[in-house]
Amino acid sequence: MSKSAAELSQRAEEQAVRQRDRIPALALVIANLVPLAGIFLFDWDFRYLLLLYWLENWVVRAFTAIRMMSAGGLGAIPMILFFCFHYSFFCGVHGIVLLGVTALDGMSEGEEIAPQESSLPFLIPLDLLGGTLAWIHQNMPDLLALPLLAMVLSHGVSLVQHHWIGREDAGRRANEIMSDPYRRIAILHVAIIAGSFFIVSTGGGSAAPMLALLVAGKIWLDLHLHRKAHLDRNRKAAAKTPAKG
């Protein structure tokens, strides 16, 4: 295949990916707009946003495990169990960082998020998960309703459209799929936490316009990373396909 023909084929494939991504991208934007209702109607502060975005990590974990099972079948179960443990530890450390950010805004006594007691120090990040989820259930139950459901539906639409209909994971092993969420989460949440530091330091932890800017920034970055990841995976899949002619 000539270079020009290869370029045309690549452009056609990218256009097909963008076409297929219209509904998932729209679902992503709508799901991320839901928190605006909490900000403007229910006086959410920045902690609601941070914890909602932290909860989204668990949605990503669930759908990544489904993709791994789809790719590897029952033989992928040991790898899925390892992924769930490792990813949970990763999110636990992330939760510790969130505690530091929320502490900057002077949480009142009794509002602190504390890890459940553990006799093993290396399990503290995992114990923190239970404490954080229990705290959310008690103090911010709204996060576990429509906002979280919107995230689930958004990631579910993407799973169906890209990975089942578009067969984006065709030819990939479970251990390859396992690494997909980490880069996105690392970039996205570093940006979110940095934005939150700025909001808190400027005294805007409860200011709706500042929080709306944080939501807008998250939508833009999330959409960019979402599209880039799917384009990259499709390019790699196309490269594995033998060229005709």
Running DSSP on this structure, what letter comes out for residue 242? P
Euclidean distance between CA atoms 209 and 154, whole angstroms: 25
240 located within any domain: no
* pLDDT given at position 92: 78
The percentage of residues in the chain with a pLDDT greater than 90, rounded to a whole number, is: 35
Instruction: Kindly report the backbone phi and psi dihedral angles of residue 183, in degrees, each rounded to the nearest multiple of 5, phi listed first.
Output: -65, -45
5 located within any domain: no
Structural domain boundaries enclosing 105: 31-234
Helix (H, G, I), strand (E, B) or coil at 169: coil
178 located within any domain: yes
**Selection from 86, 100, 106, 109 nearest residue 179 by Cα:** 86
| pLDDT tens track for 112-135 | 555 555 556 566 666 777 777 777
17 located within any domain: no
7 located within any domain: no
Range with top average pLDDT, 137-141, 192-196, 216-220: 216-220
Output the six-digit token pair for 213.
Answer: 């800017």
User: What total of structural domains would you count in the chain?
Assistant: 1
Cβ-contact 54, 147 below 8 angstroms: no
Q: Average pLDDT, stretch 170-197?
A: 86
39 located within any domain: yes
Distance of CA 164 to the CA centre of its chain: 19
Q: Average pLDDT, stretch 156-170?
A: 91
Q: Average pLDDT, stretch 44-72?
A: 90
Q: 206 pLDDT exceeds 80? A: no
15 located within any domain: no
Instruction: Kindly report the backbone phi and psi dihedral angles of residue 111, in degrees, each rounded to the nearest multiple of 5, phi listed first.
Output: -95, -10
Question: Got the DSSP string for 50-107?
Answer: HHHHHHHHHHHHHHHHHHHHHHHGGGGHHHHHHHHHHHHHHHHHHHHHHHHHHHHT-P
Q: 22 pLDDT exceeds 50? A: yes
Euclidean distance between CA atoms 137 and 133, whole angstroms: 6
Tokens 């960019």 locate to 224
Output the six-digit token pair for 218.
Answer: 């998250």
Per-residue burial over 68-88, b if 16 or more Cβ lie within 10 Å, else e, is: bbbbbeeebeebbeebbeebe
pLDDT category of residue 244 using cuts at 50, 70 and 90: very low
Euclidean distance between CA atoms 34 and 118, whole angstroms: 36
243 located within any domain: no
Tell which wins on pLDDT, 24 or 130.
Answer: 24
Euclidean distance between CA atoms 231 and 55, whole angstroms: 26
Q: 143 pLDDT exceeds 70? A: yes
Q: 91 pLDDT exceeds 70? A: yes
Running DSSP on this structure, what letter comes out for residue 42? S
**How far apart, in Å, are the Cα atoms of 224 and each of 4, 209, 229, 244?**
27, 23, 9, 32
* pLDDT given at position 116: 54
